[in-house]
Structure 1
Amino acid sequence: MGYAMKNNNRLGRRSLLGVVALVGMLLCAVSQAQLATNIGVDVKAMSMGHAVTADPPGIMAVHFNPAGLAKLDGRQINLQFLGVDLSLESKFSAPPGYNVFGYSDDPIVCNDAPNDGVDYCRDFKTSSSTIEGVSLYIPFLNDTVDLPPGPLLAGPLPSFSIKPAGSKFTFATATYLPQAAGFYRSEDDPGNYMGKRVALERITYLSPSIGYQVNNELSIGASIGLSFQAVSLEQDFRAPNQLLGFARTLDESICAPFKGESNIALDLILFGICRPEEGLGPFKNLASLDVSMDQRLSPSYNLGVLWEPNDWFAWGAVWRSESKMHLNGDYQITYSKAAQDTINGIGGSATGALALAVLGIPSRVGEQEVGQVNMDLTMPASFQTGIKIRPTDRLQFNIDAVWADYKEWDSFTFNFDRSSTMLSLARLFSAGSTSTSLQYPLNYQSTWNLAFGASYDLTGRIQLRAGYEPRASAIPDDRRSPLVPINEAKFYSLGLGYKWDKDTDIDLGIAQLRSKDDIPANSSCAANCTGIDNLVYNPYAGLDIQTEATINIVGLAFRTKF
């Protein structure tokens, strides 16, 4: 149960709306990866605002710059512990003149009693959506679980390195989370049309790496990441569109005198439209969808270089490759009584069945539809370069520049396990689609942003740290949504390093990432566009939306030689 697609577009076809709703939901969820990228990879890097390319953080140089592995000696182990608290909030309100085909009694923004016999809203309200807790997809169980409300605790996440005595080579591997995001909402939350339950994960479980010390000033390195990728979503579906408003007018005005009647004359004239016991409407929940896709082995690689000509200056750079994946999974759509009644009612009349046949639409739909879906997904490549400067013996500044190739996400293509004439209808809404695939445009943009870090050696054992990273948004203004509640984001962090003894270090860190966004009515065709051709996917069409995402993180890392 989760998302949904309902056949209102054409007065009824399960596959078409099921397909297009699935596409809209999945592309938003995959895009949400951006929200959690590199947030909890390493405690020290986190406390430095991730500006560590020229100052790689121990064994986790595997991710941030594998050339830094060459600076490690002997055998070392690093254990990371993280606590993460996620908050996503959305607010929905009606601007002046709000209506869908003359109807404004949307229960999300209308405080009137339901079914009060009035088509317009007399008392508008601002509705709020929050998440209840964190959801995780469990690889071996192939299922998503909801954790109790409160912070998510993870760890220990281990990493290891070894540098033989007298060797210029260092070998390492690490387990970490390049991306992790998930949440669930209550049953009656107004945000359920943009994610009732979401889990998005990329787990790097093995990362064979090598660092090589070319000379006293120059090091190079490389790592291979072997990862698990999963996307799991549940979502309700509605479509406050002019077509659904027209369907409600037919049901409540034209068909009202003929409710409960069925004869040849009515069926011939009205195509069976008046046969359903319950008709369609723009504010009704039309269906729910449950879908999950994954890939067990998703490889990528990192290449790094580190130049340290003296004690007060260093320069580093890392290239993180793209990762091409072929995600496979299943979906289940559960249709509402109104959608079933409408399709089956039209299909039950001679003229209605003929009309559906001309459109290539089956004349009957059941309560559920199941199938398989897959997509080719490329996680974008990124490049990061930066410098380290020590103006005094105790004070250090780091500055990095970060580029991510989100322009790679020009569009997503979803492939289905069977041909469907409804996919042919979907081509009317999406150029490039075929009878077994659907293409959805994204038009994302590549981004550059800076990251800043500072450290101060308070004593020979204690180091204080701080970081700031203003993150750019890859999502254009006309593609923003409550499911991906991020535009530009600010990342703030503080940390402390404590040298327990000559072989052991302990790192502590706290951080917060926050993003706020305003999505005015009819400004984003991934959330609130109006118009008869904006069915995919605008569950809050015509409404003003405000979003706020906050991630609070605390971390502890323990590093020692053995």
Structure 2
Amino acid sequence: MKTIRLSPLLTGIILAGCSSYTFAQLGANLSVDLRALSMGNAVTADPPGVNAIHFNPAGLTKIQGLQTEQQIIVANFDIQREFSVPAGYNVFGYSDDPMVCHDGPEVSSDICTDFKGKVSGDVEYVSLFVPYLKKMVDLGEGLPLVAPTMGAAYNPPGSKATYATAIYAPLMAGFGQEDGSPANFMGQQVALERITYLSPSVGYEVNDQLSIGASVGMSYQAIAMKTDLRFPNELIGMLRMIDEVVCTPFKENSDIITDILLLGICNADEGMNPFGKFGQMQLSLEQNLSPSYNLGILWEPREDFSFGMVYQSAAKMRLKGKFHIDNAKAPQEMIKGLMTSPTGQILAAILGFPNYIPSSESGLVSMDFEYPAHFQAGITYKVMPDLQVNFDVGWTDYKVWDKFKFEFDRTLSALKIAKILSGNVTDSSLALPMGFKSPWNFGIGVEYSATDRLKLRAGYEPRTSAIPKDKRNTMVPINGAQLFGLGVGYRFDADTDLDLSIGFLRSKDQIPANTSSLANQTGVNNLLLNPYAGLNIKTDTKITILGLNYRTRW
């Protein structure tokens, strides 16, 4: 079993893929505030100190004088992915996929005689996109990282307004594997980051029962990915059959007649293979300033009851960056072969194929991206003087992630070929159909005051997946999940509090063969992001977060 440890300031929760990316509940709110984590994030009516900036800025009015907070969080991720062969597995009659087949070159059969059984592609380390270096950085397998987040709030004497700011990460994702991992075809390295580096906020006490608040978040947003490419597609399987069966008699003695009849395909030095690597793609996009805002209301009509509500706005961005594609020899040879035949040239012109495929292509890339809006409301009720229960419901507009469309600054040869099989591809753009949903979720938390100084907390938050079953994939191993939290709060004196919290999230998913168009669908039109066509997939994600929060009033 392999595990990785993530920094809370630099890393929040996995995963993604650019399709990935990105997503389900994406680990939202796992590294913003430790007290909230221990209460199942059910804190809208009971906002946690300075981090009320995020959960409900109206709660800032609970702060008196000057208050600072520092958090230290250590996160441990155990992310496992498993691939297996179902009965009848094949792509256009071929099943000798080296990823799942033990057969070596000495076995001439196109049908695998010795399947590997279960193949693992576990996450091995954290990958992050570093803004100033503008590149992905691996943090090392098993390397424990500890990093702080911080915030400050000030309520002037006699004022009804409280001002605050904090540094936190609403969303972070990063993972990677070494060369040769079966998981590399859906992201050898993936990173999705949103870091709020400045959040001027104000909470205003309207009266003894009602407070309102607002905050403006100035954030950095980045998406980056490095992935191997392969296309186990029926059409490519047919091209392999043509190369191995039809072309074999003409490999050494072709002439103008055979070139015309066979379109020049047989002149390729290397034939197409649905299980072969077609190349590698790297891209990174970012925006240094992405503003958003939070609006909150806190109503406390009685000492034993309060109601809170918060709206976190969407953030629309135009991300820009660079890309680099390395093309494998087989597709280059296919086009080269077509160009040796008059009929091949005519066919290529009709289909809009390029005249040649270079070994590599680089340039600029951009995309419209929207960080989704979120709404949450909740209550706090004291069942007994020493026991309070929090309950929240929330909704996130993940439906805006219907497609991720990448626009390149030039025509790409690979896209000119792929567009004949997908309406989501043009000569210079690629749209990944995500089809996300906007789910409702709830959380519940309990806090027991054992003494005047000691508080015990527990929370539970079941998380409904935002990803439809026909879009599940290995780049997003957090789908339907359960989050459990425990915490202890201790007051050293009237001005100093210490919170110790632990959270555990578990998400397991099964993607049976041919059920996801973003992972393992078979057929002719499965060209985009189906590198595991025809295979069964399982994911098992366990995340443990341990942290300490130190709060001081001056």
Normalised by the shorter chain, which TM-score bucket?
Answer: over 0.9
- Aligned residue among 169, 191, 199 for 1:199: 191
1:75 aligns with 2:66: yes
Deviation for aligned residue 1:308: 1.0
Task: Please tell me whether the aligned partners of residues 209 and 221 of structure 1 are also in contact (alpha carbons under 8 angstroms).
Answer: yes
Task: Please tell me whether the aligned partners of residues 33 and 200 of structure 1 are also in contact (alpha carbons under 8 angstroms).
Answer: no
- Could you tell me which residue of structure 2 aligns to residue 110 of structure 1? 101
Deviation for aligned residue 1:45: 0.7
Name the stretch that deviates more: 356-365 or 196-205.
Answer: 356-365
2:268 and 2:322 map into 1 onto residues whose CA distance is: 30
- Aligned residue among 288, 292, 302 for 2:284: 292
- Aligned residue among 319, 322, 325 for 1:330: 322
1:430 and 1:106 map into 2 onto residues whose CA distance is: 24
2:106 and 2:392 map into 1 onto residues whose CA distance is: 58
Matches within 5 A, 1:464-479: 464-479=456-471
Matches within 5 A, 1:383-398: 383-398=375-390
| Structure 2, unaligned runs of 5 or more | 1-15
Name the stretch that deviates more: 322-331 or 402-411.
Answer: 402-411
- Could you tell me which residue of structure 1 aligns to residue 126 of structure 2? 134
Deviation for aligned residue 1:487: 2.2
Name the aligned partner's letter for residue 254 of structure 1: V
Deviation for aligned residue 1:410: 2.4
Name the stretch that deviates more: 87-96 or 290-299.
Answer: 87-96
The alpha-carbon distance between structure 1 residues 534 and 344, as it changes in their structure 2 partners (threshold 3 A), is same
Deviation for aligned residue 1:438: 4.0
- Could you tell me which residue of structure 2 aligns to residue 174 of structure 1? 166
Deviation for aligned residue 1:425: 6.5
1:85 aligns with 2:69: no
Q: Could you list the per-position Cα deviations for residues 155-179 of structure 1 after superposition, in whole angstroms to 9, with x for gaps in the alignment?
A: 2211011110000000000000101
Q: Could you list the per-position Cα deviations for residues 53-87 of structure 1 after superposition, in whole angstroms to 9, with x for gaps in the alignment?
A: 01000000000000000110111111111111222
- Aligned residue among 26, 30, 41 for 2:21: 30
2:413 and 2:535 map into 1 onto residues whose CA distance is: 33
Q: Could you list the per-position Cα deviations for residues 207-260 of structure 1 after superposition, in whole angstroms to 9, with x for gaps in the alignment?
A: 000000111111100001100011111111111111111111111111122334
1:381 aligns with 2:377: no
Q: Could you list the per-position Cα deviations for residues 330-363 of structure 1 after superposition, in whole angstroms to 9, with x for gaps in the alignment?
A: 1111111222222222223333223212222122
Deviation for aligned residue 1:262: 4.7
Matches within 5 A, 1:355-370: 355-370=347-362
The alpha-carbon distance between structure 1 residues 437 and 282, as it changes in their structure 2 partners (threshold 3 A), is closer
Deviation for aligned residue 1:106: 1.2
1:276 and 1:426 map into 2 onto residues whose CA distance is: 19
1:53 and 1:31 map into 2 onto residues whose CA distance is: 26
2:190 and 2:540 map into 1 onto residues whose CA distance is: 17
Name the aligned partner's letter for residue 171 of structure 2: Q
Task: Please tell me whether the aligned partners of residues 179 and 203 of structure 1 are also in contact (alpha carbons under 8 angstroms).
Answer: yes
Q: Please state whether the residue corresponding to 1:280 is helix, strand or coil.
A: coil
- Could you tell me which residue of structure 2 aligns to residue 310 of structure 1? 302
1:27 and 1:337 map into 2 onto residues whose CA distance is: 26
2:304 and 2:105 map into 1 onto residues whose CA distance is: 69
Q: TM-score, normalised by structure 2?
A: 0.93
Name the aligned partner's letter for residue 210 of structure 1: V
Q: Could you list the per-position Cα deviations for residues 409-451 of structure 1 after superposition, in whole angstroms to 9, with x for gaps in the alignment?
A: 2223322213568757755555476654444433221100110
Name the aligned partner's letter for residue 177 of structure 1: A
Task: Please tell me whether the aligned partners of residues 422 and 527 of structure 2 are also in contact (alpha carbons under 8 angstroms).
Answer: no
- Aligned residue among 487, 497, 504 for 2:496: 504
2:146 and 2:217 map into 1 onto residues whose CA distance is: 20
Deviation for aligned residue 1:277: 1.6
- Could you tell me which residue of structure 1 aligns to residue 249 of structure 2? 257
Q: Could you list the per-position Cα deviations for residues 260-297 of structure 1 after superposition, in whole angstroms to 9, with x for gaps in the alignment?
A: 44532332121111112211111111111111111111
Name the stretch that deviates more: 545-554 or 218-227.
Answer: 545-554
Task: Please tell me whether the aligned partners of residues 360 and 422 of structure 1 are also in contact (alpha carbons under 8 angstroms).
Answer: no
The alpha-carbon distance between structure 1 residues 539 and 421, as it changes in their structure 2 partners (threshold 3 A), is closer
The alpha-carbon distance between structure 1 residues 345 and 165, as it changes in their structure 2 partners (threshold 3 A), is same
- Aligned residue among 148, 157, 176 for 1:156: 148
- Aligned residue among 461, 483, 505 for 2:475: 483
- Could you tell me which residue of structure 1 aligns to residue 12 of structure 2? none
1:98 and 1:292 map into 2 onto residues whose CA distance is: 35
Task: Please tell me whether the aligned partners of residues 418 and 527 of structure 2 are also in contact (alpha carbons under 8 angstroms).
Answer: no
- Could you tell me which residue of structure 2 aligns to residue 64 of structure 1? 55
- Could you tell me which residue of structure 2 aligns to residue 453 of structure 1? 445
1:414 and 1:382 map into 2 onto residues whose CA distance is: 25
Deviation for aligned residue 1:305: 0.4
The alpha-carbon distance between structure 1 residues 423 and 113, as it changes in their structure 2 partners (threshold 3 A), is closer
| Structure 1, unaligned runs of 5 or more | 1-24
1:244 and 1:467 map into 2 onto residues whose CA distance is: 51
Matches within 5 A, 1:394-409: 394-409=386-401
2:137 and 2:335 map into 1 onto residues whose CA distance is: 34
Task: Please tell me whether the aligned partners of residues 18 and 190 of structure 2 are also in contact (alpha carbons under 8 angstroms).
Answer: no
Name the aligned partner's letter for residue 71 of structure 1: K
1:493 and 1:469 map into 2 onto residues whose CA distance is: 9
Q: How many residue pairs get matched?
A: 538
Name the stretch that deviates more: 129-138 or 148-157.
Answer: 148-157
1:33 and 1:518 map into 2 onto residues whose CA distance is: 15
Task: Please tell me whether the aligned partners of residues 18 and 223 of structure 2 are also in contact (alpha carbons under 8 angstroms).
Answer: no
Task: Please tell me whether the aligned partners of residues 107 and 114 of structure 1 are also in contact (alpha carbons under 8 angstroms).
Answer: no
- Aligned residue among 531, 538, 547 for 1:546: 538
The alpha-carbon distance between structure 1 residues 340 and 433, as it changes in their structure 2 partners (threshold 3 A), is closer
2:388 and 2:309 map into 1 onto residues whose CA distance is: 18
The alpha-carbon distance between structure 1 residues 275 and 467, as it changes in their structure 2 partners (threshold 3 A), is same
Task: Please tell me whether the aligned partners of residues 46 and 493 of structure 1 are also in contact (alpha carbons under 8 angstroms).
Answer: yes
Name the aligned partner's letter for residue 329 of structure 1: G
Q: Please state whether the residue corresponding to 2:302 is helix, strand or coil.
A: coil
The share of aligned pairs that are identical, in percent, is 50
What is the RMSD of the two structures over their aligned residues, measured on CA atoms?
A: 1.8
Name the aligned partner's letter for residue 174 of structure 1: A
Task: Please tell me whether the aligned partners of residues 353 and 416 of structure 2 are also in contact (alpha carbons under 8 angstroms).
Answer: no
The alpha-carbon distance between structure 1 residues 49 and 436, as it changes in their structure 2 partners (threshold 3 A), is same
- Could you tell me which residue of structure 2 aligns to residue 523 of structure 1? 515
Name the stretch that deviates more: 390-399 or 220-229.
Answer: 390-399
Q: Please state whether the residue corresponding to 1:345 is helix, strand or coil.
A: helix
Deviation for aligned residue 1:517: 0.8
Name the aligned partner's letter for residue 29 of structure 2: N
The alpha-carbon distance between structure 1 residues 119 and 38, as it changes in their structure 2 partners (threshold 3 A), is same
Name the stretch that deviates more: 32-41 or 130-139.
Answer: 32-41
1:97 aligns with 2:88: yes
1:500 and 1:33 map into 2 onto residues whose CA distance is: 39
1:349 aligns with 2:345: no
